């Protein structure tokens, strides 16, 4: 039997261990070797630099939806390696794998990890093909991937050795059809999960979304929603922000409705309007006015596209409303007490708790107003979400595990069964 392993979000301690592993020339040569300067190559990030990185840079690297990085842990909760899924944006991905613990080489950890990665790429992410780059002198790895169904499709120069000779790497590929044909008869992959995470300021909902995406091997989508929304509406960030701000309160909407007629503007539902449009106004300006209908329609289009792709965790932006009709989606609200949220904001902004509390009261009013008046959903309503987790009671990682457990009913349990079946088949072959 192959060993049981789990893929976890990367911690700073994990990065420290990766750096030490790569100092061993035998380990680094199994990875990607060394730069001309002699430093070991590590793809995606520099371990020594990331140890001192800011939280923002850390999230930028390890929250990248196009490069999913995981730490590999065994049953004894020991960190044994690292793996990555690098998406190409065209339905494919490159896999990379490093077992850093030399004492565990040839014990099946590589095979166990690749089986999980293949299930995530083909089933959860719905990709059509994956490939790996393997140094030509890494015969055990070449044998492993070929046994799993990969075939050599190309060869490229990986680096130059110290003696000036070239070290080449084989590119081995496998497509979704080949992978499916190697599964037990009658087995069908489950649907790729769609999860939305929503929370008020200071609730740490972003941390939870990051953890959930890593545990599921899904794309984390946050600012991408806003970027795509602006593209569809052909508006600048300032225009979108100003439009959303017009929904913050009744009085703001009422004032705007008096200044701009309701049929052109966001505050359509604010009340009676006494000013009628001037017949001499430029009709191109009227037709180009951003309206609530246009905004909501564009937002629904963005969300529906992400839902069709599957394998995605959406954070905020009203996704809990626009994704609610998607079969199999799980909408989660991350809650926390006002006091704990104020403390969180005070720590983030280096402010006093009194200052944070004052700001938070206004921010909550604005957020709830926008959710109700623009997105059309009350995020405090008991039936607005499938699951509510309270971060006053659990950590962000524990909350993420609870969410993944809920998703597992339809997706992860079936996926794990597939992996275990393939592990048994591989070990027996």
**pLDDT, tens digit (0-9, with 9 covering 90-100), for 283-322:** 333 345 778 888 888 888 888 888 877 778 999 888 888 7
The whole-model pTM stands at 0.50
CATH 3.40.50.300 region(s) of the chain? Answer: 194-408
CATH architecture for residues 5-190+412-428:
3-Layer(aba) Sandwich (3.40)
**Residue 393: per-residue pLDDT:** 82
Q: Domain 194-408 is classified in which CATH homologous superfamily?
A: P-loop containing nucleotide triphosphate hydrolases (3.40.50.300)
Under DSSP, the state recorded for 409 is T
Say if CB 41 and CB 33 are below 8 A apart.
Answer: yes
| Residues of the chain predicted below pLDDT 50 | 33-38, 186-189, 251-287, 410-419
pLDDT of residue 251: 45
Cα separation, 386 vs 365, in Å, equals: 23
Phi-psi region of 350 (alpha: psi -120 to 50; beta: other; left: phi over 0): left
Tens-place pLDDT, residues 317-367: 888 887 876 766 888 999 999 999 999 888 888 888 888 898 888 888 888
Q: Which two tokens stand for residue 310?
A: 């599957």
Query: Which residue spans of the chain are classified as CATH 3.40.630.30?
Result: 5-190+412-428
Return the structure tokens found at 208. 């939870």
Residue with token string 């999980």: 116
- Specify the pLDDT at position 83: 92
């Amino acid at each position: 039997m192959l060993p049981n392993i789990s893929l976890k979000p990367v911690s700073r301690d994990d990065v420290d261990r990766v750096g030490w592993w790569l100092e061993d020339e035998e380990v680094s040569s199994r990875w990607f070797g060394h730069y001309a300067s002699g430093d070991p190559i590590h793809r995606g990030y520099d371990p020594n630099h990331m140890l001192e990185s800011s939280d923002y840079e850390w999230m930028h690297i390890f929250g990248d939806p196009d490069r999913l990085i995981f730490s590999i842990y065994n049953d004894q909760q020991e960190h044994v390696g690292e793996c990555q899924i690098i998406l190409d944006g065209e339905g494919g991905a490159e896999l990379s794998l490093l077992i850093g613990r030399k004492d565990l080489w040839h014990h099946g950890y590589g095979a166990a990890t690749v089986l999980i990665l293949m299930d995530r790429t083909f089933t959860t992410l719905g990709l059509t093909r994956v490939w790996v780059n393997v140094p030509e002198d890494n015969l055990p790895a070449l044998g492993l991937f070929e046994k799993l169904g990969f075939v050599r499709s190309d060869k490229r120069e990986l680096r130059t050795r110290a003696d000036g000779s070239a070290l080449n790497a084989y590119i081995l590929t496998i497509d979704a059809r080949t992978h499916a044909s190697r599964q037990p008869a009658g087995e069908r992959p489950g649907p790729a999960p769609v999860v939305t995470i929503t929370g008020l300021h200071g609730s740490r909902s972003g941390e939870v979304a990051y953890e959930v995406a890593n545990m599921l091997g899904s794309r984390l989508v946050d600012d991408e929603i806003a970027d795509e929304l602006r593209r569809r509406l052909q508006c600048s960030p300032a225009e979108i922000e100003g439009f959303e701000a017009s929904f913050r309160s009744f009085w703001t909407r009422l004032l705007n409705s008096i200044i701009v007629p309701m049929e052109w503007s966001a505050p359509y539902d604010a009340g009676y309007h006494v000013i009628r449009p001037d017949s001499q106004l430029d009709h191109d300006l009227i037709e180009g006015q951003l309206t609530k209908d246009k905004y909501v329609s564009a937002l629904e289009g963005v969300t529906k596209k992400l839902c069709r792709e599957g394998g995605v965790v959406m954070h905020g932006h009203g996704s809990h409303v626009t994704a609610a009709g998607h079969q199999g989606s799980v909408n989660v609200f991350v809650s926390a007490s006002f006091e704990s949220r104020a403390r969180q904001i005070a720590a983030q902004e280096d402010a006093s708790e009194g200052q944070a509390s004052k700001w938070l009261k206004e921010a909550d009013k604005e957020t709830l107003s926008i959710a109700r008046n623009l997105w059309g959903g009350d995020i405090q309503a008991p039936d607005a979400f499938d699951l509510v987790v309270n971060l006053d009671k659990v950590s962000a990682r524990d909350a993420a595990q609870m969410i993944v457990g809920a998703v597992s009913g339809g997706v992860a349990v079936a996926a794990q069964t597939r992996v275990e079946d393939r592990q048994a088949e591989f070990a027996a072959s």
